[in-house]
Structure 1
Amino acid sequence: MAGTVAYQIDGCVVPATGFELTATDVEEIAPAIRAILRDDSGLSEAFEALQDLPRTEFAVTTLQRVLEPPSEFAEWRVGEALAEHHLSNSRDCTFPWADSRSARNPNSISGGVDLIGFHSGDRVRFVFVEVKTSHHQSWPPSVVTSRSEGLRGQLSGLNDSDDRSRWAIKYLTMNSINKPWFSIHRQAMQTYLADAKDVMLFGVLVHVTTANMKDLEALTNRLSELPATKTAIELIGLYIEADVLASLVEGSIAVETAA
């Protein structure tokens, strides 16, 4: 797990932990983050499946251009990659199918759940993750508190089993057929069919500033007041300076000034 714990909010139903990531931390995890952003595994599989088609050097170059990753990444996508890496390495989560594989525009926003995968513990469950990236020097930023588009509203909606969770499961199901991870998907589906509330939710804030527990303190308390179900919710804060965030990618980051 990369980063140093800056704060912990315990003693409530929904815990929260903040991590500070230094330049040294990022240098260690940057190759893995870049592989997620570029979807190296998916591109490798695609090229291997088609490499017998080109008959000339020009055709090989054309195929490489079709499959090459973008040279610029939206800031929110870098935040999602950072969140995916953190949860995969510290919270027993697996995210087998990259959302970017279904996007005609690599920086288009789907409007659904940011990340969906599996959480492995005493049973396999679906895990839904909402990620917000902000460089506003306020604690908390509006991407946390907004009732509709913020972590507050989105996690509350997922806890109420809104349509986005159903869409996300359908999306993962349709892409799981004949995949190596189909068996773990079946286990998660079995858990879900027994109780649709038996899922794991993570809210991740990637804040390009110094750590402050005020970011997640009020949200932790509010979400802890929700009616008790089998749904488990956890909040994560990842804190990183702007120049360190930029070093995560081999290319440029398109910053959303309103974030």
Structure 2
Amino acid sequence: MSISDEQEFEVFIKGAVYQRVTDSAFVEGFEQDLLGLATTDMAKDTVREILSASKPPVDWEVGEAMAECLLEHEFGAFWPWNENRDRKTPLASLPGADIVGFIGEGEEIRFLFGEVKTSSDKNTPPGVMSGRSGLAHQLDTLRSNISVHATLLRYLQARCRGTAFEASYKKAAQRYVASGGKDIELVGILLRDTVPHEDDLRTRGQALAGHAAPPRVRLDAWYMPKPISDWVALATAPQ
């Protein structure tokens, strides 16, 4: 799919994507809590130093936030947690799936796991589709590796317990175990700033279509009107 209108894209990236990639609501609360604890000039200086030390995101972080916003808007996916809060070093790339959340409503809620690749590569398909770190291999791992599933289920349980998402977790987990670990939704997202081309996904899509057994895998390519090199500046510009 393609977002061809530059103005529409800027509204999207400066709005929903900005909120997701900066975790703006959480960060605002964090800042207010720290400022409330600063009772001396020295303490206030320390807080200002902490708040100014945050590193801006990089393009793949903006890409992951964009993919989550697109999946939420287009397919009703939802996320109990922002993974930015799990990083223990600035700009660390966390292991596991890029996307971890839920999809569906009521009794149909299931786990949604996915991988995101951002590429300006002029080749079709781009290089990020192949190799051990490519989208195709990562989706195969998500499809069949039970140890990866176990890690993701523990991750989600820890973040959903005692929250508004706990009921969703229990419904999705029930579907998962009742199906022998098959009733989940997997998604691969390719984000591009190139001209749309069906060969970007054709080969991998045909290979995925050859798997008759669940889980279901969705493969999407989204084409944006602004260069990837501009995304960070657009997504983090003062609001």
Range 173-182 or range 44-53, more displaced = 44-53
- Superposition deviation, residue 207 in structure 1: 1.3
The equivalent of 2:10 in structure 1 is: 27
Code of the residue aligned with 2:81 in structure 1: it is W
Q: Which residue of 2 aligns with 1:133?
A: 118
Q: Alpha carbons of 1:224 and 1:45: their partners in 2 closer, same or farther (altered >3 Å)?
A: same
- Cα pair distance change 1:57/1:239, threshold 3 Å: farther
How many residue pairs get aligned? The number is 232
CA spacing shift, 1:72–1:228, aligned 2, 3 Å? same
SS at match of 2:91: coil
1:237 maps onto 2:221 in alignment: yes
CA RMSD of aligned residues (A): 2.2
Contact 2:113 2:187 in 1 (8 A): yes
Correspondence list, 1:44-59, <5 A = 44-56=28-40, 58-59=42-43
- The answer on whether the counterparts of 2:22 and 2:236 sit within 8 Å (CA) in structure 1 is no
Aligned position for 2:63: 79
| Structure 2 counterpart of 1:250, from 225, 236, 239 | 236
Q: 1:99 to 1:246 in 2, by over 3 A?
A: closer
Q: Which moved more, 1:68-77 or 1:82-91?
A: 68-77
Please name the residue that 1:14 is paired with: none
Deviation per CA, 1:110-166: give whole Å up to 9, x if none: 1310010000145110000100011111111111122x2111111112111343222
Q: Which moved more, 1:77-86 or 1:186-195?
A: 186-195
The answer to whether the aligner puts 1:113 opposite 2:101 as a matched pair is no
Which residue of structure 2 lines up, in the alignment, with residue 255 of structure 1? none
- AA at the equivalent of 2:156: L
CA contact (8 A) 2:196 2:223 kept: yes
When the two structures are superposed, what TM-score results if normalisation uses the length of structure 1? 0.81
Cα 1:176–1:97, aligned 2, differ >3 Å: closer, same or farther?
Answer: same
